[in-house]
Structure 1
Amino acid sequence: MNASSSTQASHFNLHVSGIGYLNRVRWVSPKQRGRSAEPFLACSISALRGNAQAPDYTYFDLRVSGQEAAELVEKCMEDVDQDRKVVISFKVGDIYPHQYERDVKENGRKTGEKEMACLIKGRLLLINTITVDGARVYEREAAAHAEPGADDHADDIPPQGSDDSVLDGGEQSQDEPAPASAEQARPVQRIQALAPANAPRPSLSRHRTGARETATA
């Protein structure tokens, strides 16, 4: 994690790099009106930290920012919807904590009780590598990377644990735009250059079998 300042833009950048599982790729339609009401592409990442043999997870719920990142996430949507293990090395920015209420579950069943949970919201800025079911399907050319070693284990990480249940329940109603960045170039307009949400999407692993179910926001 690093913080830097730009004297020209008078804006502080807070960037986080890591490796994690890509989940919940979807289009979000905000409840606000005006320009902020335009649909945007979002995803969740279960980022790994700690012991490589038994890692813990930090959960990010992100708005995809930038044409390149949006195109790559769109291409991963089919694989995510079909429950393939999609692992990415990434950079996110403008992070902030988000607290929400969720259902308490026991053995996968709701108990009728509620509890508070927390995740991190922000913007997905950059994807360096993508691995689907253990096979590397994408590597960014410019990724002779800003942070050496960040991708060393992207193809060999343990299965995702059950801790991702933190994303279940109440959080799904909490989709909201991340805070605006001073260097933002209207990401909604850039995302609109992609195919409509209901149009067939290219896939990084289209040769794999199985049909994608339509994702809902």
Structure 2
Amino acid sequence: MTSTTSNPKSYFDIHTSGIGYIQRVREVQVKGGRKAMPFLACTVAALFGPANNPVRRYFDVRVSGAEAKKLLQPYIGTDDPQQRPLVRFRLGDLWIDPFRRLSGDPAASMKARLLKAEVLERSALDEIEHHELHTRGIGYLNNPRMIPNGGDPFLSCSIAALAGPVGDPEYRYIEATVADDGAQHLVQRCIQAVEAKKKVLLAFTLNDMKADAYVRTKGEHAGEVSGSLKSKLVRVSLIKVDGEKVYPLEPEAPAPEDVHASDKTVLAEDDNGGPQPTALILAPVEEPARVASF
């Protein structure tokens, strides 16, 4: 069995996966001289919620995966709703682009790279009861807090998700409602560490990513349109406090290699279709004995 430790990750990414329709496939021309090459783009209308009445979350994406490019080329210029392909997709490098509509209202779109797309028969929808839209990555926990919400308080937090080269990453800020009991317990255990100004790093899984636009009201950028990503935190698979792993705890005896691996490396693709190392995605583990905090 090959160990992943010999190939340390060099690139953080935020992966979003789900099922949705491809629309507005187009070739985008780029200004910048003879070396500026056009690229393939499309919109992914991701499905989320009950199968009988799902909502759609729209991602404006650049098609980066080689197989995805080959798959979507024939759909350039064709946008008949009856001909839009239904696909299982994987996106990378998620970010938000705020803008102002012609009406003057604030708006924001979600941008990403389309890494993978697998065409599905529409009959496949008959086997689905609930559509999920999962986003996985690694980032820093900020501002965990209880929101009063009348008589029904809930736990909320902000995640500064890491994206880009490990040596010089960017941050994607995501406001998250903690929607799972296990994740809620783990985030609550981190509150003291965050309040003590310690760096709390999470490997997270979110569900139902969406964009929220607003107009700034304070500071030198008052009046400008801005936006934020919002989602629901449904799983925490790793926690490090100031670089020290505190969850999951190491088992007393290592499991045999032929039972399961402790982690695996997921490869994204660059714009040329080649492999690109990305953050480690940890395999499921059982929660250790609960304590008051880290």
TM-score interval for Structure 1 and Structure 2 normalised by the shorter chain: 0.5 to 0.7
Using structure 1 for the length normalisation, give the TM-score.
0.59
| 1:5-44 alignment runs, 5 A limit | 7=126, 10-30=129-149, 38-44=152-158
**Equivalent-residue separation in structure 2 for 1:99 and 1:143 (angstroms):** 41
**Alignment length, in residue pairs?**
147
Deviations 1:134-185 (A, max 9, x none): 111112789945x64576499xxxxxxxxxxxxxxxxxxxxxxxxxxxxxxx
8 Å contact kept, 1:128–1:143: no
Q: How far off is 1:60 after superposition?
A: 0.6
**Equivalent-residue separation in structure 2 for 1:9 and 1:18 (angstroms):** 25
Find the residue that maps to 1:83 and give its secondary structure. Answer: coil
Deviations 1:48-90 (A, max 9, x none): 0111111111111000011110000000011111111000001
Identity %: 31
1:88/1:112 CA distance change after superposition, 3 Å? closer
**Equivalent-residue separation in structure 1 for 2:292 and 2:201 (angstroms):** 18
| 1:172-191 alignment runs, 5 A limit | none
What runs of 5+ residues in structure 1 fail to find an aligned partner? 32-36, 105-109, 155-200, 205-217
Find the residue that maps to 1:50 and give its secondary structure. Answer: strand
Over the aligned positions, Cα root-mean-square deviation in angstroms equals 2.9
Deviations 1:18-50 (A, max 9, x none): 00000010001226xxxxx51000110000011
What runs of 5+ residues in structure 2 fail to find an aligned partner? 1-15, 20-50, 52-124, 252-259, 267-277, 283-290
1:126/1:7 CA distance change after superposition, 3 Å? farther
1:7/1:74 CA distance change after superposition, 3 Å? farther
1:101/1:119 CA distance change after superposition, 3 Å? same
Which one has a bigger Cα radius of gyration? 2
User: Is residue 18 of structure 2 the alignment partner of residue 3 of structure 1?
Assistant: yes
Find the residue that maps to 2:235 and give its secondary structure. Answer: strand
Q: Supply the AA of the counterpart residue of 1:45.
A: I
Among 82, 86, 93, which residue is 2:200 paired with? 86
**Equivalent-residue separation in structure 1 for 2:239 and 2:261 (angstroms):** 12
1:53/1:112 CA distance change after superposition, 3 Å? closer
1:143/1:29 CA distance change after superposition, 3 Å? farther
| 1:1-217 alignment runs, 5 A limit | 1-4=16-19, 7=126, 10-30=129-149, 38-103=152-217, 110-111=219-220, 113-139=222-248, 144=262, 148=265, 152=280, 202-204=292-294
More helix by share: 1
Q: How far off is 1:11 after superposition?
A: 2.2
**Equivalent-residue separation in structure 2 for 1:120 and 1:9 (angstroms):** 26
